[in-house]
Amino acid sequence: GQVLELRAHSKTNSAIKALLNLVPPVARVIRNGEEQEIPLEEVKVGDLLLVKPGEKIPVDGVLISGTAVIDESMITGEPVPAEKEIGSKVTGGTINGKTAFEMKAEKVGSDTLLAQIIEMVNEASRSRAPIQKLADVVAKYFVQIVVLIATLTFIVWYFWGPEPALVFAFVNAISVLVIACPCALGLATPMSIMVGTGRMAQSGVLVKDAAAIEEMNKVDTLIVDKTGTLTEGKPSLKGYKSFGHLTDEDILRYAASIDASSEHPIADAIVAGAKEKGIELFKVADFESVTGKGVQAIYKNEKFGVGNQHLLDVFSARLPEENRKTAEEWQTGGQTVMFLVVGNKVEGMVSVADAIKKTSAKAVKELQKLGIHVHMLTGDNRFTAKAVADELGLDGFEADCLPEDKYNKVKELQQQGHIVAMAGDGINDAPALMQANVGIAMGTGTDIAMQSAEVTLIKGDLNGIVRARELSQKVMKNIKQNLFFAFIYNSAGVPIAAGVLYPAFGLLLSPVIAAAAMSFSSVSVISNALRLRKHQ
């Protein structure tokens, strides 16, 4: 049994080892304007690297020159190559297409995504699922019962068996003990977990431990964010309008100048839109992010703010009714509106739009078919949120959510008896990810989100959650099949070994045959677990 288990462990990890082999042994580094090849282990964070057509990317980093089409299928499980431009993240071990590009190394050695995948898979394969505790309890009592049956077998054959009674009693008692060896019972759960975690990793789904697989199988409610999960996460500038004496262009200039210090995708879209239109930005002082509401800064001794409806309360500003109607019209069209506040007056608004991912609608339907209710929680306004929810056919949504609202919503659903999965990618999602029965971090998100979650999706979209759900169902089904095989085998084998067939048919089971039968039960469990490797 141990030999078979070790062999299966080797097969399971072969795909993961193959990922490690994808990393090239050397890298082309550009130092002092000259290109030179150095061993991979000598690459340092910040090094400028050159990747030529068809080559493997040596480490994780960001593209700083050129464009690329990269095959990331070995990491994400997605067959379609990913297009990269300046500023795009690239992953070590993936394969470059037909163009050369320069990149800056950001993560090397054990910090790379591939190294983390290996570590997570190894840890998960060694962890124990809650269902294993049931198997352990059953095995504990099972062993005691088998010893009792073996003792009774010896007594019955010794006093009522044919001559030589002592030989018959001894042989049959030994046969009972041998055939009932709970190897198959002990292999049933860990084998499926080990093979399943390896298969999940190949599909771009990393699990922290076996308990996450079991919980994912039970999930009935999924909470997702809008930006970056349902949508592309790459909003673009759509419109800008003045409500007062400033020109429309002034509104965009002020908004972009204040947002220039922000890292939020919406702020990036506003700044990029202003630069595309050739608008010159100015520097502001005392920049401050107001979590879940927007940003504020000082310019020429006056306080400015750019943000959503909640920010107006911070500035004690009121939005006139006619301007509110205009904003609602934009929002109903799926645009996200940010207001420019000067002092305590709303001077204008800027809008951006974030296209819904092409894969989102299909993924939502697949999740609903799998019995999961999909709810969206977003900090965006209710009009934009409703437009997205209606288009995707979501089971529910909540708009204007602050970071703590996600955490509270998870607790509320759990109190109603739901098993909740939370998908997030930001620092503000970490509390909700920790509270959820299963926290799902998008691999495109922050390290804190990934540390807080039990499941990490290398490619951050809903299709990864569909794969995680399907694979968790397959693994749990496989575990139950293994436990069934082990119990049925022992239920049938022990009475035969004890000699119940002897009075009617004159048949006895020798210890040698019992040992072979016991080994066969282990083989059947391992073979069944290995079927998970072929799941598509």
The pLDDT of 106-126, averaged and rounded, is 74
Question: According to the model, what pLDDT value does residue 62 have?
Answer: 94
How sure is the predictor about 102, in pLDDT bands with cuts at 50, 70 and 90? very high
Q: Is the pLDDT of residue 312 over 70?
A: yes
Question: According to the model, what pLDDT value does residue 296 have?
Answer: 92
Share of the chain above pLDDT 90, in %: 21
Query: The tokens of 149 are what?
Result: 């049956």
Residues 433, 407 contacting (CB under 8 angstroms): no
Q: Which residue has the higher pLDDT, 9 or 217?
A: 217
Question: ∠ CA 345-347-353 to the nearest 5 degrees?
Answer: 125
Question: According to the model, what pLDDT value does residue 79 have?
Answer: 57
DSSP assignment letter at 61: E
The pLDDT of 141-156, averaged and rounded, is 89
The pLDDT of 159-172, averaged and rounded, is 89
How sure is the predictor about 516, in pLDDT bands with cuts at 50, 70 and 90? confident
Question: According to the model, what pLDDT value does residue 5 have?
Answer: 53
Torsions phi, psi for 244 (to 5 deg): -140, -135
Any idea which of 19-23, 345-349, 376-380, 398-402 has the lowest mean pLDDT? 19-23
- Tokens 């409806």 correspond to 309
Q: Which residue has the higher pLDDT, 271 or 490?
A: 271
* Euclidean distance between CA atoms 180 and 171, whole angstroms: 14
* Euclidean distance between CA atoms 48 and 279, whole angstroms: 32
- Summary mean pLDDT of the chain: 83
Catalytic residue among 47, 209, 225, 429: 225
Any idea which of 114-128, 214-228, 327-341 has the lowest mean pLDDT? 114-128
Q: Per residue in 452-501, pLDDT tens?
A: 677 888 776 788 889 889 989 999 898 888 888 887 877 788 888 888 88
Question: According to the model, what pLDDT value does residue 124 have?
Answer: 56
Question: According to the model, what pLDDT value does residue 3 have?
Answer: 58
Question: According to the model, what pLDDT value does residue 245 have?
Answer: 84
The pLDDT of 519-523, averaged and rounded, is 81
State how far the alpha carbon of 209 is from the alpha carbons of 41, 109, 444, in Å: 29, 23, 21
The pLDDT of 501-522, averaged and rounded, is 83
Q: Is the pLDDT of residue 18 over 80?
A: no
Phi-psi region of 292 (alpha: psi -120 to 50; beta: other; left: phi over 0): left
State how far the alpha carbon of 117 is from the alpha carbons of 197, 198, 232, 441, in Å: 11, 10, 25, 14
How sure is the predictor about 223, in pLDDT bands with cuts at 50, 70 and 90? very high
| Beta pairing class for 345-353 and 336-342 | antiparallel
Question: According to the model, what pLDDT value does residue 2 have?
Answer: 53
Q: Which residue has the higher pLDDT, 504 or 473?
A: 473
- Pick from 168, 23, 161, 175: nearest CA to 105: 23
H-helix or E-strand spanning residue 411: helix 403-415
**Domains of the chain in sequence order:** 23-121 (2.70.150.10), 127-192+473-532 (no CATH), 205-230+357-458 (3.40.50.1000), 234-355 (3.40.1110.10)
Q: Which residue has the higher pLDDT, 177 or 115?
A: 177
Q: Which residue has the higher pLDDT, 415 or 112?
A: 415
* Euclidean distance between CA atoms 385 and 114, whole angstroms: 36
The pLDDT of 103-122, averaged and rounded, is 79
Catalytic residue list contains 225: yes
How sure is the predictor about 257, in pLDDT bands with cuts at 50, 70 and 90? very high
The pLDDT of 519-529, averaged and rounded, is 83
Q: Which residue has the higher pLDDT, 252 or 245?
A: 252
How sure is the predictor about 9, in pLDDT bands with cuts at 50, 70 and 90? low
